[in-house]
Amino acid sequence: MNSVRNVGISCFSCISWLTNQIMKIKILLCFAFAVFIVFGESPVVDLDAGELRFAAETTGVAPGDIAEFYIIAQSSGHDYEALFKSRAKVEDIAAGLLELGLGRGEGVDIGKFRFWSKGERVNMFVKFPDKDERVPLDSLVMDTRTGKPVPPVGFVFVGAEIPENTGPGSIVPSYNEETTLFDVPRYCPQNEVYEKYRVAAGFPADGALPVEIIMVPEKRPADSPKRVMELDVKFAPEGVSIGADAPVPAREAVLKFRALSLLERDVFMTPLWDGALTAA
């Protein structure tokens, strides 16, 4: 009987010891995370994982507040309408993504008739100190027109060089911003979506809450390593030529463009007009 009781006591002691060790590990991990957030102002480029990580903090916005920006620079001043403020410098984030193999894109420029940004796609996640999972950054903003969080489709790496105190200090906006490091991958003018994007339910309203931002360049198929596809499209009396292809009827050209978009390619077209075309 004593041996049975001793075994029971031994098992209980073992479980208690393991529980204490697990708690110590959790405390150490939380401490390490806090140290990274406080002191880790330079982004970490993880070439093996193919991702970039940097420290940021919440701004104090609450669910239902206007969300003009996902992430802003320290000097932005738009804390009242942004979810996070980066501890890392904009130029350091850009340099880290270049190190991961991304090239700079081009932002919206209405004067040049570029109505949406051109660049490779980057998926973004947030690691909160009290959660194990990575939360898609896109999903932290709700579109009031649908009543649902913004779908997690990533952001376009524009890579604009932003001088200090120029523009709104945007790193990741929720609309098409001309002066920004990233842009949304759709036509989204500020005047059309202002007040329609709101902070999603469940977002922590506490200001200065430390978080980790993770940026992961989109994984592309081997046969189309780049999302961006630039094509010259010639319009002539014989039809429409896409790149070096022979002319086809306009309807067939449209179907080709649609097929490319379904392959998750962002097609940017430069129109060329044959001199034989007439207005009639």
Q: Which two tokens stand for residue 107?
A: 């932002």
Whole-angstrom Cα distance, residue 158 to residue 162? 11
pLDDT at res. 269: 85
The 3 state secondary structure assigned to the chain is CHHHHHHHHHHHHHHHHHHHHHHHHHHHHHHHHHHHHHHCCCCEEECCCCEEEEEEEECCCCCCCECCEEEECCCCCCHHHEEEEECCCHHHHHHHHHHCCCCCCECCEHHHCECCCECCEEEEEEECCCCCCCEEHHHHEEECCCCEECCCCCEEECCCCCCCCCCCCEEEECCCCCCECEECCCCCCHHHHCCCEEECCCCCCCCCCEEEEEEEECCCCCCCCCCEEEEEEEEECCEEEECCCCCECHHHHHHHHHHHHHCCCEEEEEEEECCCCCCC
pLDDT at res. 39: 46
pLDDT at res. 259: 87
pLDDT tens per residue, range 63-77: 999 999 999 999 999
pLDDT at res. 30: 53
pLDDT at res. 13: 62
Q: Which residues of the chain have pLDDT under 70?
A: 1-40, 163-165, 279-280
pLDDT at res. 7: 47
pLDDT at res. 19: 62
pLDDT tens per residue, range 122-174: 999 999 998 899 999 999 999 999 999 998 999 999 998 876 667 899 999 99
pLDDT at res. 4: 47
Q: Which two tokens stand for residue 207?
A: 């200001």
Whole-angstrom Cα distance, residue 185 to residue 190? 14
pLDDT at res. 22: 60
- Cβ atoms within 10 Å of 264's Cβ, excluding its own: 13
In contact, 61 and 207? CB cutoff 8 Å: no
Q: Which amino acid is at 166?
A: T
- Residue 231, judged by CB atoms within 10 A of its CB (0-12, 13-18, 19+), counts as middle
